[in-house]
């Protein structure tokens, strides 16, 4: 079964919009795990506009499933991850002012940098993953960095699926095939939803984990958090 890691950034966004501590991100992390989610994901950014660096520390003691911290490996982020030692760190090439992740790494151009950062994380017992586009050359490059896994950037797939173009899954299938051959673990995330997750899961061999936040939280406003988590788990069986 593919694991579901719930990205709770949007809960922090809602909290920050009002001030105070409601909704509480720590309690929410406890709840999604209690409802069956097998992981919690956060993506702190330098301006702390949603998840704050302190949240990352506060969550450490309550995430008893997989704790995944995403972000651009700037020095402050690297220090945070090394201090907390989550289950997994996912490296994302976000610009400082990016609203959301909008591209994968060029694993060939940035090979030396990624290799150095990944070695430091792995030396500290932290599983590593690289956010990549569905491009065979980038998958090959990811392998050469020493990363344990890749996270396929799925916005293009989600867009094509919404337009009725199921052939948009093809490059992801090809990349998954190569990743399996190279013994790279496969994660996926970005714009996956209740509408498109089942088809993606059925066609991506070896899919270990999906990280879903925006869609899951939005759907939960209508359907309820516990119900939505269970619906994802059902589709991922």
R_g of the chain, CA atoms, integer Å: 17
Q: Which two tokens stand for residue 28?
A: 């929410």
DSSP string, 12-57: HHHHHHH-TT-S-HHHHHHHHHHTT-SEEEE---TT-SSS-HHHHH
Contacts of 128 (CB under 8 A, 6+ apart): 88, 89, 90, 91, 118, 121, 122, 146, 147, 148, 149
| Residues 214, 202: Cα–Cα separation, whole Å | 22
The pLDDT value given to residue 237: 87
Report the pLDDT value the prediction gives residue 103, as an integer from 0 to 100.
79
For residues 99, 103, 105, 109, the Cα torsion angle rounded to the nearest 10 degrees is -110
Q: Does residue 11 have a cis bond before it (omega within 30 degrees)?
A: no
Catalytically annotated residue among 70, 151, 209, 219 = 70
Look up 43 and say whether it is catalytic. yes
Structural tokens at position 85: 């030692």
Among residues 43, 66, 151, 209, the one annotated as catalytic is 43
Q: Has 190 been annotated as catalytic?
A: yes
Domain boundaries, the chain: 3-235
10-residue mean pLDDT series, the chain (237 residues) = 97 94 97 97 93 97 98 96 98 70 86 98 98 97 98 97 97 98 98 97 98 96 92 93
**Helix locations, 46-152, DSSP H:** 53-60, 75-84, 111-123, 136-145
Q: What is the pTM of this model?
A: 0.93
Do residues 141 and 107 touch, judged by C-beta distance below 8 A?
A: yes
Name the region of 210 (left: φ>0; alpha: ψ -120 to 50; beta: rest). beta
Residue range 180-217, pLDDT digits in tens = 999 999 999 999 999 999 999 999 999 999 999 999 99
pLDDT more than 70, % of the chain: 97
Cα distances from 96 to residues 49, 53, 83, in angstroms, run: 11, 15, 22
pLDDT at position 95, please? 64
Q: Which of the following is catalytic: 50, 66, 151, 190?
A: 190
Q: What is the CATH number of domain 3-235?
A: 3.20.20.70
137 is catalytic: no
């Amino acid at each position: 079964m593919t694991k579901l890691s719930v990205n709770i950034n949007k809960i922090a966004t809602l909290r920050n919009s009002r001030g105070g501590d409601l909704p509480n991100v720590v309690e929410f992390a406890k709840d999604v795990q209690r409802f069956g989610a097998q992981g919690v994901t956060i993506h702190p950014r330098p301006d702390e506009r949603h998840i704050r660096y302190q949240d990352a520390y506060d969550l450490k003691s309550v995430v008893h499933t997989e704790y995944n911290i995403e972000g651009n490996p700037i020095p402050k982020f690297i220090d945070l991850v090394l201090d907390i030692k989550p289950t997994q760190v996912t490296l994302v090439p976000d610009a400082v002012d990016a609203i959301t992740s909008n591209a994968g790494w060029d694993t060939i151009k940035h090979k030396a940098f990624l290799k150095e950062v990944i070695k430091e994380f792995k030396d500290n017992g932290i599983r590593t993953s690289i956010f990549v586009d569905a491009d065979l050359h980038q998958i090959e490059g990811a392998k050469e960095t020493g990363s344990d896994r890749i996270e396929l950037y799925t916005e293009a797939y989600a867009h094509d699926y919404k337009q009725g173009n199921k052939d948009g899954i093809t490059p992801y299938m090809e990349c998954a095939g190569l990743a399996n051959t190279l013994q790279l673990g496969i994660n996926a995330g970005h714009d996956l939803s209740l509408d498109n997750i089942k088809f993606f899961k059925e066609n991506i061999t070896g899919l270990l984990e999906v990280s879903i936040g925006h869609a899951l939280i939005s759907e939960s406003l209508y359907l309820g958090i516990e119900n939505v988590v269970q619906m994802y788990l059902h589709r991922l069986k």
